[in-house]
Amino acid sequence: MTALKNDRFLRALAGEPVDMTPVWMMRQAGRYLPEYRATRKLAGDFMSLCRNAELACEVTMQPLRRYAMDAAILFSDILTIPDAMGQGLYFTEGEGPRFRKVVRSAQDVEQLPELDTAKDLSYVTDAVSVIRRELNGSVPLIGFSGSPWTLATYMIEGSGSKDFRNAKAFMFNEPEAMHQLLDKLARAVTNYLNAQIAAGAQAVQIFDTWGGVLSTSAYREFSLAYMQKIVAGLTKESEGRKVPVILFTKNGGLWLEEIAASGCDCVGLDWTIEIGRARALIGAKTSLQGNMDPTILYSTPKSIRAEVARILKDYGPGAGHVFNLGHGITPDVDPANVAVFVESVHELSQQYHQG
Amino acid sequence: MTALKNDRFLRALAGEPVDMTPVWMMRQAGRYLPEYRATRKLAGDFMSLCRNAELACEVTMQPLRRYAMDAAILFSDILTIPDAMGQGLYFTEGEGPRFRKVVRSAQDVEQLPELDTAKDLSYVTDAVSVIRRELNGSVPLIGFSGSPWTLATYMIEGSGSKDFRNAKAFMFNEPEAMHQLLDKLARAVTNYLNAQIAAGAQAVQIFDTWGGVLSTSAYREFSLAYMQKIVAGLTKESEGRKVPVILFTKNGGLWLEEIAASGCDCVGLDWTIEIGRARALIGAKTSLQGNMDPTILYSTPKSIRAEVARILKDYGPGAGHVFNLGHGITPDVDPANVAVFVESVHELSQQYHQG
Q: Is the dihedral of CA A343, A348, A350, A353 positive or negative?
A: negative
Residues of B within 8 A of A330 (CB-CB) are: 163, 165
Tell me whether residues B163 and A274 touch, CB distance under 8 A.
Answer: no
Nearest residue to A79 via CA among A95, A99, A53, A93: A99
User: How many CA atoms within 13 Å lie on the side-chain side of A177?
Assistant: 19
The number of helix segments (H) and strand segments (E) in chain B equals 17, 11
Can you name the residues that pair with A203 across neighbouring β-strands? A142
CATH of A32-287, one of 3.40.50.720, 3.20.20.370, 3.20.20.210, 2.40.10.10: 3.20.20.210
Q: Least CB-CB distance to B169: which of A172, A216, A299?
A: A299
Q: How many angstroms separate the CA atoms of B184 and B152, rounded?
A: 10
Cα A340 to its chain centre, rounded Å, is: 23
Q: How far apart are CA A128 and CA A73, in angstroms?
A: 9
pLDDT of residue B117: 87
| C-alpha count within 13 angstroms, C-beta hemisphere, residue A299 | 24
Query: CA A285 to CA B29: how far, in whole Å?
Result: 48
SS3 B177: helix
pTM above 0.90, yes or no: yes
Are A214 and B330 within 8 A, CB to CB? Answer: no
Q: Which residues on A lie below 8 Å from B160 (Cβ)?
A: none
**Between the CA of residue A243 and those of A287, B43, B225, what are the distances in Å?**
14, 63, 44
Q: What is the pLDDT of residue A94?
A: 74
Distance from CA of B89 to the nearest CA of A (A): 23
Rounded CA-CA distance A279/B276 in Å is: 24
Burial B158-182 (b: 16+ CB within 10 A, else e): beebeebbbbbbbbbebeebbbebb
CA distance A119 to chain B (A): 37
| Percentage of chain B exceeding pLDDT 90 | 95
* Residues paired with B326 in a beta bridge: none
Residues of B assigned a catalytic role = 27, 31, 40, 77, 154
Give the right CATH number for B34-291 from 3.20.20.210, 3.40.630.30, 3.40.50.1000, 3.40.50.300. 3.20.20.210
Supply the pLDDT for residue A253.
98
What gap in Å lies between CA B248 and CA B238, rounded to an integer?
22
Pairing between strand B72-73 and B321-325? unpaired
Contacting residues of B for A216, CB less than 8 Å apart = 272-274, 277
Phi then psi dihedrals of residue A237, to 5 deg = -140, 145
Measure the CA–CA gap between A168 and A174, rounded to whole angstroms.
10
Q: Which of B104, B251, B271, B272 to mutate to test the interface with A (most CBs of A within 10 A)?
A: B272
Quick one: closest CA in A to B269, which residue?
A: A215
Q: Is B113 helix (H, G, I), strand (E, B) or coil?
A: coil
Give 3-state DSSP helix, strand, coil % of chain A, rounded to 5.
55, 15, 35
Could you tell me whether strands B203-208 and B141-146 are parallel, antiparallel, or unpaired per DSSP bridges?
parallel
Residue B95 has pLDDT above 80, yes or no: no
**Omega of the bond leading into B291 within 30 degrees of 0 (cis):** yes
Complex ipTM: 0.94
Give mean pLDDT in consecutive 10-residue pieces for chain A, a chain of 355 residues: 88 97 97 97 93 97 98 96 96 86 97 92 97 98 98 96 94 96 98 97 98 97 98 97 98 98 98 98 97 96 97 97 97 96 98 91
The reported pLDDT for the residue numbered A118 is 83
A303·B163 Cβ contact <8 A: no
C-alpha distance from residue A81 to each of B59, B118, B312 (Å) = 47, 58, 39
> What letter would DSSP give residue B146?
E
Residue A204 has φ and ψ, to the nearest 5°, of -135, 150
Q: Determine, for residues A307 and B172 on separate chains, whether the beta-carbon distance falls below 8 Å.
A: yes
**Partner residue opposite B303 with nearest CB, options A173, A253, A303:** A173
Q: Do B271 and A310 touch (CB under 8 A)?
A: no
pLDDT at A197: 98
> Which residue did the predictor score with more confidence, B95 or B218?
B218
* Chain centroid offset of residue A24 CA: 11
- pLDDT, residue B2, reads 64
What ranges do the domains of chain B cover? 34-291
Q: Which long-range contacts (CB under 8 A, 24 or more apart) does B253-261 make?
A: B253/A253, B253/A254, B253/B278, B254/A253, B254/A254, B254/A272, B254/A273, B254/B216, B255/B216, B255/B219, B255/B220, B255/B224, B256/B281, B256/B282, B257/B281, B257/B282, B258/B220, B258/B224, B259/B224, B260/B285, B260/B286, B261/B285
| CB B254, CB A254: distance < 8 Å | yes
pLDDT at B252 over 70: yes
State the DSSP H helix or E strand holding residue A320, giving kind and residue range, or none if neither.
none
Task: Classify residue B353 by burial, with Cβ atoms within 10 Å: 0-12, 13-18, 19+.
Answer: middle
Position B1 scores a pLDDT of: 56
Inter-axis angle of helices B175-199 and B148-157, nearest 10 = 120
Q: Is A220 tagged catalytic?
A: no
Cis peptide before B166 (omega within 30 of 0): no
Q: Are B148 and B226 a contacting pair, CB within 8 Å?
A: yes
- A355 burial (CB, 10 Å; 0-12 / 13-18 / 19+) is exposed
Q: Which residues of chain A have a CB within 8 Å of the CB of B253?
A: 253-254
